[in-house]
């Protein structure tokens, strides 16, 4: 059994659209169904850095609770993605370590009392989750789930230290359908037309980065200009230029003991191209970039960007992106973009 101590779990989900419409004089037409479930997890911590070895000796245990909305092709992107599930999940991990603590507490690090922990340096982190699962119907409306999962916690370098925690686990769980009736799957009668014209986009992002473990954070600004072309209902490709103006890099130049000149320019320019997975108003962006102007060479010459975009209107979108160098996070960019 898990010792939850002062843990209070509140898990509540409201869908803006219930997926049920009513026709005059007819029974409700169900476009979506819902299920709830939970699983228990057992795994280990990956020592992805030599400094993480003293933290990778324990075997974390945890659980997940989720609510899912099952799609049946009511929208075109649901058909194209083969009827994906949408939902929210609550994860809990007991790392079986006095140093790492519990992920629900959001407090695995303290500069005074826990200064040997180099994994997470902030009270709030980002979480990434990848899972391969198998579901087997046990009885009507009840399924058994077996899964292999990788969970990553990091603060995106907004605070130091930030080695992050990677936890592979084996999960065993069950899910229960809240709907007895299930709609038929929709299929394409004809493929929808897409806008194949070349589009131009401008994105302005900002955020904070910590350079030394003293709590002081420095702002940065990212300006990106790219062209994009949609090639299918789900896929779009892009190519453009990025400008990075980071006062954190300026601070790194000032404190670099091995640097012969303090007059180096802290600004950087890069060329980047990538792919965008289109999921209705939401899209997932992956990019690979190379610096063409980088006088201060503290980072690798190649960078990556991963993130989410949300369509606010036909011309406007919001976005959050993680920028990294070969897996080492540099910053999390929050911003807004416009299609020209």
Contacts of residue 332, defined as CB under 8 A and 6 or more positions apart, other chains included, come to: 126, 156, 157, 158, 207, 320, 321, 322, 323
| Residue carrying the six token digits 């057992």 | 42
Q: How far is CA 272 from CA 16, 277, 294, 310, 330, in A?
A: 36, 17, 14, 20, 16
pLDDT, residue 326, reads 82
19 has pLDDT over 70: no
pLDDT, residue 166, reads 80
Q: How confident is the model at residue 189 (pLDDT cuts 50, 70, 90)?
A: confident
| Choice between 205 and 129, residue whose per-residue pLDDT is larger | 205
pLDDT, residue 103, reads 46
Backbone angles phi, psi at 155, to 5 degrees: -105, 10
pLDDT, residue 115, reads 52
Distance from the Cα of residue 34 to its chain's centroid? 23
Q: How confident is the model at residue 7 (pLDDT cuts 50, 70, 90)?
A: very low
Quick check: 167 and 93 in contact, CB under 8 A?
A: yes
| Choice between 135 and 105, residue whose per-residue pLDDT is larger | 135
Question: Measured between alpha carbons, how far is 295 from 268 in angstroms, rounded to an integer?
Answer: 8
pLDDT, residue 270, reads 97
Q: Domain 199-339 is of which CATH architecture?
A: Beta Barrel (2.40)
pLDDT, residue 231, reads 95
State the average pLDDT over residues 228-252.
Answer: 95
DSSP conformational letter for 249 = H
Closest CA to 247 of 222, 280, 269: 222
pLDDT, residue 59, reads 80
Domain ranges of the chain: 20-177, 199-339
State the average pLDDT over residues 230-243.
Answer: 96
How many residues does this entry show for the chain?
340
pLDDT, residue 121, reads 61
Closest CA to 240 of 274, 206, 278, 276: 274
Closest CA to 20 of 89, 58, 72: 72
Backbone angles phi, psi at 52, to 5 degrees: -95, 0
Of 48-57, 111-120, 199-208, 270-279, minimum mean pLDDT range: 111-120
23 has pLDDT over 90: no
pLDDT, residue 134, reads 93
Question: Measured between alpha carbons, how far is 333 from 321 in angstroms, rounded to an integer?
Answer: 5
40 has pLDDT over 60: yes
Please tell me the pTM assigned to this model: 0.75
SS3 call for 26: coil
Question: Measured between alpha carbons, how far is 220 from 330 in angstroms, rounded to an integer?
Answer: 11
pLDDT in tens, 148-187: 998 877 776 676 666 677 889 999 999 999 998 888 999 9
State the average pLDDT over residues 29-40.
Answer: 90
State the average pLDDT over residues 198-217.
Answer: 88
Backbone angles phi, psi at 77, to 5 degrees: -70, -25
Of 259-273, 289-303, 304-318, minimum mean pLDDT range: 259-273
Q: Residues of the chain with pLDDT > 70: what percent?
A: 76
């Amino acid at each position: 059994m898990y010792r939850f101590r002062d843990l209070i779990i509140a898990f509540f989900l409201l869908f803006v659209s219930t997926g049920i419409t009513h026709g005059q004089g007819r029974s409700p037409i169900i476009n979506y169904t819902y299920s709830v479930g939970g699983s228990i997890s057992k795994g280990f911590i990956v020592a992805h850095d030599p400094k993480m070895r003293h933290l990778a000796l324990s075997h974390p245990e945890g659980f997940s609770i989720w609510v899912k909305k099952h799609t049946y092709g009511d929208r075109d992107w649901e058909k194209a993605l083969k009827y994906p599930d949408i939902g929210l999940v609550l994860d809990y991990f007991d790392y079986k370590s006095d140093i790492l603590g519990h992920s629900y507490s959001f407090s695995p690090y303290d500069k005074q009392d826990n200064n040997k922990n180099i994994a997470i340096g902030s009270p709030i982190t980002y979480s990434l989750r990848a899972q391969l699962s198998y579901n087997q119907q046990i009885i009507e409306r009840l399924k058994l789930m077996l899964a292999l999962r990788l969970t990553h916690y990091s603060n995106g370098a907004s605070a130091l230290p930030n080695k992050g925690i990677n936890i592979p686990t084996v999960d065993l769980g069950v899910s229960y359908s809240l709907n007895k009736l299930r709609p038929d799957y929709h299929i394409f009668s004809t493929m929808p037309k897409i806008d194949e014209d070349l589009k131009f986009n401008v994105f302005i992002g900002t955020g904070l980065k910590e350079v030394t473990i003293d709590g002081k954070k420095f702002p940065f600004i990212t300006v990106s200009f790219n062209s994009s072309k949609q090639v299918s209902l789900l896929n779009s490709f892009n190519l453009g230029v990025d400008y990075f103006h980071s006062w954190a890099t300026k601070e790194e130049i000032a404190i670099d003991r091995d640097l012969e000149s303090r007059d180096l320019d802290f600004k950087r320019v890069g060329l980047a191209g990538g792919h965008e997975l289109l999921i209705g108003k939401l899209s997932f962006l992956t990019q690979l970039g190379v610096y063409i102007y980088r006088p201060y060479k503290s980072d690798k010459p190649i960078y990556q960007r991963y993130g989410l975009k949300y369509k606010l209107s036909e011309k406007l979108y919001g976005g959050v992106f993680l920028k990294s160098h070969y897996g080492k996070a540099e910053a999390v960019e929050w911003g807004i973009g416009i299609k020209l």
